[in-house]
């Protein structure tokens, strides 16, 4: 494994690195080469990294390595959960993300003051450790209705459509064609031809004590305002408004419609061909054999 990268870092007045843009990456002879080194701003610092497999496996140590790992995921050179991102939050500074680029939080008050007095167009889009994906990388054959809702470090498969309420965190994303109207939390990967309905949620691993990586297989549907706290196999459906967690008590049925067991959600982790629904009178959660399939609109997701 050989990785070489050329990047340009934005620095504060005190010399602290705020972000790094990597337009040149050679990843095992797969090349990203979109650099134009002309007219580089005076507050930019050239960064060159030469890595091996051990650097991908080691925790994040600084801003430069953090941004390279995020770029590798969003360039789709590596998949979510395949490289070590331990230490990422500690390495990244909190930054004021503005229409004029990243600005140190120690300097933003002065910048805003000067902008008001000089009628300069300066507005702060967010105060965060992570920037938007499209400030650095424009993914091909993808539609994003609101780019502020997709972080750098998101992995977006060709044919993905992210609607206005869709959200994709870093180290997460879609592995193929998908419709995203819900939330893909950090660490969650969504399989090809799957649909996340409006307002639905996937449980991440950043807080709350959850250490199970949630994934969604191919040809799955999460209904509007549903939720997922276990990994799903292929061809699964969760009805609208139903949240499945590891501890949810579920009555399981066979293909003939006969009840065969009472189990927990965790017992069905990774299982395929299941539709999760609630009994309309009792409210009990049921897992039945899924005899239908998800079909996404091919015209909607060509995104050429």
Q: Residues with catalytic annotation?
A: 181
| CA gap 89, 158 in Å, rounded | 28
Rg for the chain, CA atoms, rounded: 22
Closest CA to 161 of 199, 125, 194, 201: 194
Rounded CA-CA distance 255/265 in Å is 19
Q: How far apart are alpha carbons 142 and 150 in whole angstroms?
A: 12
CA distance 179 to 163: 8
Q: Three-state DSSP class for 179? A: strand
**CA dist., res. 125 & res. 59, Å (int):** 29
- Residue 163 φ then ψ, to 5°: -80, 180
CA dist., res. 5 & res. 241, Å (int): 45
Tell me how crowded residue 42 is: count the other CB atoms within 10 A of its CB: 6
Distance (Å, whole) CA 222 – CA 241: 9
Pairing of strands 227-228, 259-264: unpaired
Helix runs in the chain, H state only: 53-57, 63-74, 88-91, 108-118
């Amino acid at each position: 494994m050989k990785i070489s990268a050329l990047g340009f870092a934005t620095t504060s007045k005190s010399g602290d690195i705020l972000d790094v843009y990597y337009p040149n990456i050679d990843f095992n002879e797969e090349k990203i080469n979109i650099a134009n080194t002309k007219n580089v701003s005076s507050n930019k610092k050239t960064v060159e990294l030469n890595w091996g497999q051990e650097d991908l496996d080691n925790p994040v140590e600084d801003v430069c390595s953090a941004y390279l790992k995020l770029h590798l995921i969003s360039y789709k050179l590596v998949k979510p959960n395949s490289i070590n991102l331990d230490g990422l939050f500690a390495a990244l500074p909190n930054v004021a993300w503005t229409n004029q680029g990243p600005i140190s939080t120690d300097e933003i008050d002065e910048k805003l003051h000067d902008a008001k007095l000089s009628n300069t167009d300066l507005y702060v889009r967010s105060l965060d450790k992570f920037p938007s994906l499209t400030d650095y990388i424009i993914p091909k054959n993808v539609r994003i209705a609101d780019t502020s809702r997709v972080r750098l470090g998101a992995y977006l498969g060709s044919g993905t459509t992210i609607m206005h309420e869709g959200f994709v965190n870093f180290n997460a994303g879609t592995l193929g064609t998908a419709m995203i109207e819900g939330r893909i939390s950090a660490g969650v990967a969504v399989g090809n031809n799957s649909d996340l309905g409006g307002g639905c949620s996937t449980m991440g691993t950043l807080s709350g004590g959850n250490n199970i990586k949630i994934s969604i297989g191919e040809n799955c549907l999460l209904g509007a305002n549903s939720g997922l706290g276990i990994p799903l196999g292929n061809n699964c459906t969760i009805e609208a408004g139903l949240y499945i967690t590891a501890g949810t008590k579920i009555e399981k049925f066979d293909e003939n419609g006969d009840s065969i067991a009472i189990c927990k959600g965790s017992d069905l982790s990774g299982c395929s061909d299941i539709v999760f629904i609630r009994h309309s009178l009792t409210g009990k959660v049921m897992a039945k054999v899924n005899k239908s399939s998800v079909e996404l609109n091919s015209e909607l997701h060509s995104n050429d």
